[in-house]
A and B are shown apart, each in its own frame.
Chain A
Amino acid sequence: MRKNKAIMIGAGLSNMAAAVYLIQEGKWQGNQITFYSLDDHGANDGAPTHDVTDDYWNKNHPLENTKGYVARGGRMLNYRTYVDLMDLLNRIPSATEPEMTAAEDTRDFDAKHRTFDKARLLQGGQGIIDGGHLGFNNQDRLLLTKLIAMPDSEEEKLDNVSIADYFKDDPHFFGTNFWYMWETTFAFRLQSSAQELRRYMHQMIYEFTQIEHLVGVNRTRYNQFESIMLPLINYLKDQGVKIVLNRRVIDWDFKDTTMQDEITVTGLEMINTTTNEKEHVAVDDDTAVIFTNGSITDSATLGDFDHPAAENMDYGAASSLWKKASERFYNLGNPDKFFADRDASEWVSFTLTTKDHLLLNEITRITTQVPGNALNSFLSTSPITLLGQKDVNMSIVVHHQPHFTSQKPNETVIWGYFLYPRRHGEFVDKPYIKMTGKEMVEELIGQLSKVDPGPGNIRDKSKQIMASVINNIPVYMPYASALFNNRAKTDRPKVIPEHATNLAFTGEFVEQPYQMIFTEQSAVRSGEIAAYHFAGIPMSHLVKTPRYDKDLKTLARAAKKMFD
């Protein structure tokens, strides 16, 4: 239904994308659009630590040490698949590179810093492992082929089937190099949705042949806030879009109808988180409400060098509002599937800032690759999973330096994460989730020492490395993998739900054809669909999605790779 004004709930990537498409394709004026949000960095964050200590989730957990940088998550791009994201970035100026669009900025940087991972997997006693040998047996190949061969129209067969369920007769699969790389490249867990794994196998099928080197991965010049979010914020503000921050929308007013299934928003209740006062915003007939109904960084908390990140038990802000809507209407999904199962979704990440390049150079020596090229995952040397298998302990991303525009030339920023934060460290005998930033650095040095080819060992330089640390910020993210949680197709609302007259859902917790989630691609596309709907633009004008899963050459290469 066409509208002439829009209220955006949430100022993440998807809603910002919706606003850009409304302005550029719908020919709207910026002042027709208003955002209400807790903050404007979304999940694509990255900032000096002292800039985020006043953020909504951090206010109740003040930090003693606010030095250094923090990026709660880390993302990789892929031009070939992220076509909607690249289309969006091509429409806005870079925030850091004059005369370039944000897309040109990323392409320029990436062309000069191609990804070629030389140490994707490392294991004590073996050093760098040849990940190119995927390690499949025939049962693995059969089950994976069946998954890939399942057509889109039969996807419901995988409703409520977890990856562990799907491979229940084939535990060998979880001990293959393929699984170690796939789970840590994309952050899948055993409890994650097999339906989503199928979508990934389709949309990322060509990555199958090059996963050990991550050749298809593209990177932004700086952290994703400065290279993606800031260009969007700058552009939208220039266009006159109103971005109201420190607002938590807590409830809806819906139109009452006889059949009770028409979804028409008539008002929004929100809290001004600065004053703690309630505010009400009326929604008229000519206004669309575009709602990002979940965030993987909601309820995330920070620690510092001497303190672990506190566990925040809050249900997410966006998902709380989704829940209110889903309790009223039957076709808006089931937020509890994603936000009431932390065991399936939580991670701990850390952002390490050092004052020099000592640790950076040591990692470069051990992994044999230059910064900016890699995702390094450390495999355990003893069984650590419930199935009694080895698995990845921790992963690190050593960015090209500088990763922040305000970073001093001699400083280093490294990001890492623990996909299973309740597991115990090997060098610090406590669960990762209980570790301070300092203990995480000790664990990292320990893992590096196990794969150090010598001569000498990184442990010999532990004291100097510790002395070089400015800060290490652990981040607890209870919902980091929530978007992968086991689900049925009906557990997520459609971007435009049936019977909705002025409400659209955007982001990573919506159902849209073919798209895999946990990618800026799907987030942007959901915003694009919402914008086209309310601006009356035919869906045939959406950016065309390439189907590599129907490309015979790609399929043949993948089939061959299965036998490597």
Chain B
Amino acid sequence: MKKHIFRLSLTIGAVVLGVAYVAKKTGFFEDDRHLYDEFESR
């Protein structure tokens, strides 16, 4: 049973890491709001 849980955890962990990697590579979590900072009136 413990072995199964370990394998399941490992699989879920790998999937999460994979998704996070792809999301980072594709800029999924990039936020462009700061790009407007340079347009602010000073």
Nearest chain B CB to A344 CB, angstrom units? 28
Nearest chain B CB to A550 CB, angstrom units? 6
From residue 516 to 551 of chain A, which have CB atoms closer than 8 A to chain B? 529, 532-540, 542, 550
Closest-by-CB residue of B relative to A530 is B39
Bound Cα distance from A107 to B36, whole angstroms: 30
Residue contact B27 to A539, C-beta cutoff 8 Å: no
From residue 27 to 41 of chain B, which have CB atoms closer than 8 A to chain A? 27-28, 30, 32-33, 35-41
Bound Cα distance from A149 to B30, whole angstroms: 12
Closest-by-CB residue of A relative to B41 is A536
B42 within 8 A of A: yes
Residue contact B32 to A539, C-beta cutoff 8 Å: no
Nearest chain B CB to A463 CB, angstrom units? 58
Cβ contacts A308-319/B at 8 Å (1 or 0 each)? 000000000000
B25 within 8 A of A: yes
Bound Cα distance from A540 to B27, whole angstroms: 21
A513 within 8 A of B: yes
Residue contact B32 to A2, C-beta cutoff 8 Å: no
Bound Cα distance from A1 to B27, whole angstroms: 32
Query: Which residues of B sit under 8 angstroms from A494, Cβ to Cβ?
Result: 38-39
A152 within 8 A of B: yes
Residue contact B42 to A513, C-beta cutoff 8 Å: no
From residue 6 to 37 of chain B, which have CB atoms closer than 8 A to chain A? 25-28, 30, 32-33, 35-37
Residue contact B35 to A533, C-beta cutoff 8 Å: no
Partner of B41, one of A2, A495, A540: A2
Count of chain A residues with Cβ under 8 Å from any Cβ of B? 26
Query: Which residues of B sit under 8 angstroms from A539, Cβ to Cβ?
Result: 36-37, 39-40
Bound Cα distance from A134 to B37, whole angstroms: 40
Query: Which residues of A sit under 8 angstroms from B38, Cβ to Cβ?
Result: 494, 496, 498
**Given A513-B32, A514-B32, do A149 and B26 touch, yes or no (CB 8 Å)?**
yes
A454 within 8 A of B: no
Bound Cα distance from A412 to B37, whole angstroms: 49
Bound Cα distance from A4 to B39, whole angstroms: 17
**Given A151-B25, A529-B39, do A540 and B33 touch, yes or no (CB 8 Å)?**
yes
Query: Which residues of A sit under 8 angstroms from B27, Cβ to Cβ?
Result: 150-154
Query: Which residues of A sit under 8 angstroms from B39, Cβ to Cβ?
Result: 494-496, 529, 532-533, 539
Bound Cα distance from A129 to B39, whole angstroms: 47
Residue contact A513 to B30, C-beta cutoff 8 Å: no
**Given A151-B26, A151-B27, A153-B30, do A1 and B42 touch, yes or no (CB 8 Å)?**
yes
Bound Cα distance from A149 to B33, whole angstroms: 20
Query: Which residues of A sit under 8 angstroms from B33, Cβ to Cβ?
Result: 540
Query: Which residues of A sit under 8 angstroms from B35, Cβ to Cβ?
Result: 513-514
Residue contact B28 to A550, C-beta cutoff 8 Å: yes
Nearest chain B CB to A9 CB, angstrom units? 19
Query: Which residues of A sit under 8 angstroms from B42, Cβ to Cβ?
Result: 1
Nearest chain B CB to A271 CB, angstrom units? 32
Bound Cα distance from A539 to B30, whole angstroms: 18
Partner of A152, one of B25, B30, B37, B40: B30
15 contacts between A and B (CB under 8 A): A1-B41, A2-B41, A149-B26, A152-B27, A152-B32, A498-B38, A532-B39, A533-B39, A533-B41, A535-B41, A539-B37, A539-B39, A540-B36, A542-B36, A550-B28
Q: Write the residues of chain A forming the contact surface with B, with a CB cutoff of 8 angstroms.
A: 1-2, 149-154, 494-496, 498, 513-514, 529, 532-540, 542, 550
Q: Write the residues of chain B forming the contact surface with A, with a CB cutoff of 8 angstroms.
A: 25-28, 30, 32-33, 35-42
Which 5 residue pairs are nearest across A and B when measured between Cβ atoms? A151-B27, A539-B36, A513-B35, A149-B26, A536-B41
